[in-house]
Structure 1
Amino acid sequence: MGDARYFSSSKRGEIHELKEELNSPNKDKKKEAIKKVIAAMTVGKDVSPLFPDVVNCMQTNSIEVKKLVYLYVINYAKSQPELAILAVNTFRKDTMDPNPLIRALAVRTMGSIKLEQMTEYLLEPLRRCCKDQDPYGFVAVLKDMLSDANPMVVSNAGSSGVVAVEFVWVNIIAAVIALCEMQQQSGKRMMPLDEKTVSNLLLALNECTEWAQVIILDAITMFQPKDSKQAKEMIERVSARLSHVNSAVVLSAIKVIMKMMEKLNNTDMIRVMCRRLSAPLVTLLSQEPEIQYIALRNIRLIVQKRPIVLQGEVKVFFCKYNDPIYVKMEKLDVMGRIALKLEAAADVCVNAILELIEHRADYVLQESVVSMRDVFRKYPGKYEFVIGPLCENLESLAKPEAKEAMIWILGEYPDRIENAGDLLYSFLDGFFSETYAVQQELLTAAIKFFLKDTSKTNQDIVSKVLKACTDSSSNPDLRDRGYMYWRMLSMGDLEKCKKIVVAPLPRITDTSLLVESNLLEVLLGTIGQLSSIYFIAPDELIEGTKQYEEMEDYYEDQSSVEDRSQNIKAVKAAMASPRSYEERTTDLDSGSEDTSSSSSSDEDDDDESSDSETEDEETPTTATPDLPIQRFMVRPEDQKGVNNSVNAVERLAICCTSLARSSSTGVSDAISGGNGHTGLKVAGGIGFVKGVLCMELLIGNSGGIPLTGFAIQCNKNAFGLAPKSTQIAGMPDTLQPGSSVSVRVPLEPNRLNSGSPPPNHPPLLLQTAIKTNVDIFYMNVPYTLYVVFEPKQMINADQFLSLWQRCGADRQTSRAATPSQPLNPEMVVARLRQANLFHVNTRGSRDGGSAALYFGACLTNRLVVLLELVLTRTVPQEVMVNVRTETPPLVNHMHYLIESLLQLKPAPKAQQAATGSSATKRAHNEDALPEGKTRDKKAFQSKLEKEKTEQADGLEFEDPVEDEFEKEEIIDGDASDAEMAAEEEDAAAAGGTAVYRPGVDKVEE
């Protein structure tokens, strides 16, 4: 079992036993006791009474025991500061121990105890350890200064580091590393560099390891030379590192040289240094692919600052057959930029791109199309011979950027492309599945086609595109542009239209890769680090820096405290919602008082939110509004590898105010992909938006690299739900780290049917996969049963009667419940209509005490669910929910849906039978049977058949309580004249039996 056994014991009198073991003379027994104490402290038990006994165990030579005791002291120092001070003598003794590990451990522990009294005891060990000959102890001292409770200790850290530099060469490295780390975390200048200090650091380069050289070179970049002469001397002393075997040392040396070149005022010297930088950069491009990629990203920054670097070195950017895709794409992009910047190199670059196109690799083709579009803009009429090979690979284009570029080429050169109209028409088939940028490019290209050639084919194309943009598009920009073109063409003056739409385009200049000047200076100071690869400032990339914390505080201040609390409350309510249902449908005992209390508090929150919702739904409406899409967190039991930290939920909930206000929102933390990668956060749900079934997702990038290449797919499921397209409409091409976007994915049923029934308990889960450039992320998107109901009435009165009888009482499931507020039939009909549950008939009893409402729903896979709701007029009101279906797995989902729509609370199980029988009897008048008599089944069937025959002959029966509950017309258009039959004329006239006859003659299905 290992150390896990320490966490499994929980018995009475354990504190007393531990106290005895801690005072035992046996060292092994004492060590075991300390481990038990730490284990108990870890799981949240109060072991503070053992403080004196644990502190006495510090007087040992075992480093393992000391570490455990120090951990205990740090944890309880705040709650018992007086006792913590008693351990000072032992701490001071350990700071003079011959073992540097113990010395460093003691100093670090003293600095971790946040007590004002500890500061005065810490000063002397700090002074002594600042002169420590061992670098381990010195680093511990410097790190300890940063977290000290006394700000004076922190402010003196820089001067202490400078003093230590004068002693041991090894300590120089430790001092620089520690001070750089402290400076990064505190945001203050902790290492004042002067000429003497920098000279010592440069001398130490020859004595250091290669990784220590990187640290020293990074520190030297903070030095500001006085004049050009001093900068030149610095460059000469660092230039030897450009030929180092370690790539990190080379990049750090380049960083120092780029920094010092700013002080040079000699143009010839600058040109010489730029040429000197070319050789090491070219060497980096011949190493491993990972180093090549880092070099390519840094080359962008260097070339923007010093364009003459790598002049004449175009060949190094040619793609090799064995280059990874990320290196090829980076090289292709650089070559395209070189072709735009250097006209002399354009021919070479275009020929290289043509050779790559011949290989027909999809990723190469897509980047080639984008690059060639820019080349066409830069050099119009010069490289049109490349258009033919590009059009031959049209079906390989999948990225939105490549589609945009190809559509632009088709619209710009239709007269030079054979069957250009057919090629453009092929993009129109998936118009609504494309991104808005592609749709906009299609619209412009179609107008260009028509203005250049007003043939019948082009007229069909432009009319189809204009109609799609103006009638069906939800993007206001695209719709307005469509109306603008439509009105422009309706004026009839095509020549003026040509001057506007088909006017000669100006030659482009490449500014897409230009980094803003202030950011460029920051990134040049981070060459070789992550910031220079992501093009993100260090303060935005690394949490814990002062700048990052200030920015985070600023954005938190922008959102009100009330909004944040509401959002977080909504998240927690959504998290608790699935569990609350399972707890009330099963007899499982959680076994924890905390769980029950938290669930009860969550139920109270749900009640408050339900009250506000029912107030809005008090007035029935004739329209059928969309039910809000419920967004739930992907639960651990449903999705392996999901981390549901509350902090992550709160952070993303604060950013997504609109989603949290609209419905109960849950947010998942970083989901693990199929290959173990993380970086994707998803919140979502399934519902109807403007009558269209769709999956609404909030997708966030919690990783450190941009996410691209998004695609979505669903697994086979009971209802065959699947996206209409694997492309996510409205998804940006690149999702930057820290950003999020809300998208809607239209769904269609009966496309991926699994042939198996749905699960027995809600919620229903749609297994979904989102593909990115990093990994394929799998998740379960929950939804309720109403999303798979047919949106129009499929069951009339005749069919309802037939199906109700065919299911029989054996397949009926009944549950009693109490509503959060009184319900009337009109309110129930209006609410259930929103969920596509269609009302068939309402029947009331004679005494006016109860009403029975009947509903039917047909699922998209042709399954049928029938519902009877019995409403009483008692106080408190009781509701009996009776569900009949030939598919048992749908029963629990139906009850869950009704309870959610009507805000019902299940009655205790002890009252279920009594409540259900009494409510049903009141509605059906079955309590009129004399005591001791039973219903005659044969007489019942005979009576029913006789009444059906009379109904077929044209006889009509009046509703005995017509003044109490008016009969409802059948909503189905084909059965508008049909009416539900009333109750039997009188229970006594039927010989003491009450017959309910809901409907007319049975119709064959």
Structure 2
Amino acid sequence: MGLGKRSNQVNVIDFGLAKRYRDPKTHLHIPYRENKNLTGTARYASVNTHLGVGKIQELKAELKSEKKDPKFTRKKNVLKKIVANMTMGNDMSPLFPDVLVCMDIPVLEIKKMVYLYLIHYARNKPEMILMSLKPFTKDVNSNNPLIRAMAIRTMGYMPADKIIGCLGKPLHDCLQDRDPYVRKTAALCVPKLFMDDPILVEREGYLNQLKDLLNDTNSTVVASAIAGLIEIADRSEKFDLSINFNLANKLLTAMNDCTEWGQTYILEAMMFHVPQEHQDAELLAERIVPRLQHANAAVVLTSVKVILYLMNYMDNEEVVNNLFKKLAPPMVTLLHSGYEIQYVALRNILLIIQRRPDFLKNELKVFFCKYNDPIYVKLAKLEIIIRLTNIYNVSQVLSELEEYSSEVDVGFVRKSVRSIGRCAIKIPEATDECIDVLIRLIHTKVDYVVQEAVVVIRDIFRKYPNRYESIIGILCENLDSLDEPEAKASMIWIIGQYSDRIQNADELLDNFLETFKEETTEVQLSLLTAIVKLFIKRPTVGQALVPKVLKWATEDVDNPDLRDRAYIYWRLLSSDPVAAKAIVLSERPAITTEVEDMDWNLLDDLLLNISSLASIYHKPPTNFINGIKSRKLIQSPALNPNIHMQQQKTYNFDDDEK
């Protein structure tokens, strides 16, 4: 316990292990470090400190301490405590004036912590920024390039209207600094300033200085300059970045000396080059191909994006095919990385195979799911498997899907059963085999498997009418397993559609009718239509059910869709039975898998944004990033006018596959 004025304060020794202390009133051990992560050496501290409230006054006193400290060790320790509290979410802003004084200490470690503190509070408490301008002016003129760079970087995080008076000249100077690290840091400061005040950036000539840095002798500076220009070009309606062929070649040469992230920026810059000749696109693509072997997934995916972009400006199919052969191995390699990278790669592959359906068709086994794959990876793989399925590998795919249907993850099992139905619809020659697999799954008597199988079989009946009626009896034997709305609605549709061939169709529908008022709208609509079909096909059998369901649907149900459909049927049946038969029993259009393909314009947009969030969400970046411009293919003499025709074309990468 504390003494004197601090007698109400409990002090503890924290070895990074203690988790509770005993309440003196209740004698119970209660948590005092909940959601806190204090670790390290043993230390004395008040319970308030452990709670994250912090001892502002004590920290302030330590900062102002005049004890001899020639190596500034005490100042370092205090600043570490402040940064730690700040990281845990505790408000350290009352210490702003005292922390600011530490900027005058000529120790790099201390300056780093002070700058970190300033960055943290610069946006949230802009009124405090004016106090720091004078020390910043001193630091940006320091003889130490690290201090100059840290100062200009920190100023870049501050609102432009607060610091423009003292930022203008230092930023100009840093963009021309003799040290490349300072130039690189200043280049990244320009786009941050542009976000706050684009007019100011143009007026002060920062954009021109940024462009001049593209000719810098240091590759890291070039990469930072191009990164800044790309950031500005993506968000400015007035500024368009255009890179000619000579500059593109020069940037690719500089890429050899860049870090992996610098290489990513330079590769991204190639998206702003519009080839004017087919040969230009081919040459640049060949220079980028070696980056496909890079260890960094970001470099690989960005390289893939640029090569796909350049293909739009090529007319030589042999060159295009050869490039696609080179794209396949690195994409497969990414599927052996961590799960997160796998998922990113899978989502991007899904886009590519919609443009080039035969891409990776010989790598089907790579996409087979492993037992320990997370569900999001399994579902992404499943989608690609179905798109790569063809007449030659469908048996292998169905065997795999049947095995997936016995997994423990219910969501994955449902998706697997649905995929069997998609195979049947996509490949007519494999429908019989798909039906056999579905029947075996129904015989397992697993409720959710049976229900998904019923939904799938309904779709198969719609695709191939009057072809598989022989399995209806098997479906009817499993009516007790149906408790989900979609499965019930599917089974009711089957009974109504084939009511003239099911002897006890009226009894089956009557059983569903017992819970009509409690069912979902989907089931009610399906039941209403099925009973009307039964009446039209077998009037004597259905005449007892029709009045009942029409009365309930028009008088006892609140849903307007159901009520309107019931009135339509009632009037049709009472006024013109012939017209009712023609309408209710009219032939439905066959379902296809084409609806799963993206709109070509959206696909073009997403292919230009591979390796970004847009390629993972499968939504254009303008949908979730405010102020960003959409990317489009720019017209040039080299642009291939038959881009979308290529989407339907097949490419035989292996003539011996069959």
- TM-score tier (shorter): 0.5 to 0.7
- Measured against aligned partners, the alpha-carbon deviations of 1:861-902 in whole angstroms (never above 9, x if no partner) come to xxxxxxxxxxxxxxxxxxxxxxxxxxxxxxxxxxxxxxxxxx
Q: Distance in 1 between matches of 2:423 and 2:181?
A: 57
Match of 2:312 among 262, 266, 280: 262
Give the deviation of 1:117 after TM superposition: 7.1
Q: How many angstroms does 1:484 deviate by?
A: 3.6
The 5 Å alignment of 1:459-608 reads: 459-469=506-516, 471-475=517-521, 478-491=523-536, 508-542=591-625, 545-547=626-628
1:51-70 matched pairs, under 5 angstroms? 51=97, 55-67=100-112, 69-70=114-115
1:374 aligns with 2:422: yes
Residue segments in structure 2 that go unaligned for 5+ positions in a row: 1-42, 540-576, 630-658
Structure 2 match to 1:144: 189
- By how many angstroms is 1:259 displaced? 0.7
Q: Is 1:221–2:271 an aligned residue pair?
A: yes
- Please report how far the alpha carbon of residue 104 of structure 1 lies from its aligned counterpart in structure 2 after TM superposition: 1.9
RMSD: 4.4
**Number of the residue aligned with 1:425:** 479
Aligned-pair CA distance for 1:404: 1.8
Match of 2:496 in 1: 447
Corresponding letter in the other structure for 1:392: R
Distance 1:16 1:366, change over 3 A: closer
**Bigger relative contact order, structure 1 or 2 (CA pairs below 8 A, ≥6 apart):** 2
Partner of 1:105: 150
> Structure 1 CA distance, aligned partners of 2:225 and 2:628?
24
* 1:734 match: none
Q: Which residue type is aligned with residue 287 of structure 2?
A: R
**What is the DSSP-based 3-state SS (H/G/I as helix, E as strand, rest coil) of the residue aligned with 1:452?**
coil
User: Would the aligned equivalents of 2:255 and 2:266 in 1 still touch at CA under 8 Å?
Assistant: yes
State the Cα deviation string for residues 501-548 of structure 1 (Å, max 9, x = none).
787776544223322223212211222333213312234345xx4259
Q: 1:487 Cα shift? A: 3.5
Secondary structure of the structure 2 residue equivalent to 1:193: coil
Aligned to 1:154: 201
- CA distances 1:961-986 after superposition (whole Å, capped 9, x unpaired): xxxxxxxxxxxxxxxxxxxxxxxxxx
Percent identity between matched residues is: 27
Look up the SS of the partner of 2:609 in the other structure: coil
Distance change (3 Å), C-alpha of 1:402 and 1:323: farther
Contact 1:221 1:259 in 2 (8 A): yes
SS state of the match for residue 450, structure 1? Answer: coil
Which whole-Å CA distance do the structure 2 matches of 1:315 and 1:32 have between them? 58
Q: Please report the TM-score for the alignment, with normalisation by the length of structure 2.
A: 0.66
Q: Contact conserved, 1:221 with 1:256, CA < 8 A, in 2?
A: yes
What's the TM-score, normalizing by structure 1? 0.45
Shift in alpha-carbon separation, 1:488–1:357, aligned structure 2, 3 A: closer
Q: Secondary structure at the match of 2:104?
A: coil
Q: CA deviation at 1:360?
A: 5.5
2: distance between equivalents of 1:262 and 1:113? 42
- 8 A contact 2:309–2:608 mirrored in 1: yes
Give, in whole Å, the separation in 1 of the partners of 2:280 and 2:103. 54
Higher strand share: 1
Q: Deviations over 1:199-249 (max 9, x none)?
A: 221102222344432332122122222232322222222233334454443
**Aligned equivalent of 2:431:** 383
Secondary structure, in 3 states, of the residue corresponding to 2:281?
helix
Instruction: State how far apart, in whole Å, the 2-side matches of 1:33 and 1:283 are.
Output: 48
**Once the two structures are superposed, what CA deviation does each residue of 1:748-796 show, in whole Å capped at 9, x if it has no partner?**
xxxxxxxxxxxxxxxxxxxxxxxxxxxxxxxxxxxxxxxxxxxxxxxxx
Q: Does 1:195 align with 2:261?
A: no
Kindly indicate whether residue 214 of structure 2 is the aligned counterpart of residue 165 of structure 1: yes
In structure 1, C-alpha distance between the alignment counterparts of 2:302 and 2:59, rounded to whole Å: 56
Q: Distance in 1 between matches of 2:44 and 2:248?
A: 51
**Partner letter of residue 383 of structure 1?**
T
Structure 2: how far apart are the matches of 1:286 and 1:15?
Answer: 50
Letter in 2 for 1:472: E
Out of 405, 410, 424, the residue aligned to residue 456 of structure 2 is 405
- Mapped to 1, the partners of 2:64 and 2:413 lie a distance apart of 76
- Shift of the alpha carbon at 1:270? 3.7
1:773-832 deviation per Cα after TM superposition (whole angstroms, max 9, x unaligned) = xxxxxxxxxxxxxxxxxxxxxxxxxxxxxxxxxxxxxxxxxxxxxxxxxxxxxxxxxxxx
In 2: Cα distance, 1:285 partner to 1:35 partner: 41
Contact 2:454 2:491 in 1 (8 A): no
Distance 1:77 1:295, change over 3 A: closer
Asked if 2 retains the 8 angstrom alpha-carbon contact of 1:337 and 1:510, the reply is no
Q: Secondary structure at the match of 2:272?
A: coil
Distance, in Å, in 1 between the alignment partners of 2:262 and 2:94 is: 44
Following superposition, the deviation at residue 349 of structure 1 comes to: 0.8
Contact persistence 1:448–1:501 (CA under 8 A): no
Larger radius of gyration: 1
Instruction: Please say if 1:177 is aligned against 2:231.
Output: no
Which whole-Å CA distance do the structure 1 matches of 2:200 and 2:55 have between them? 43
Q: Distance in 2 between matches of 1:402 and 1:421?
A: 9
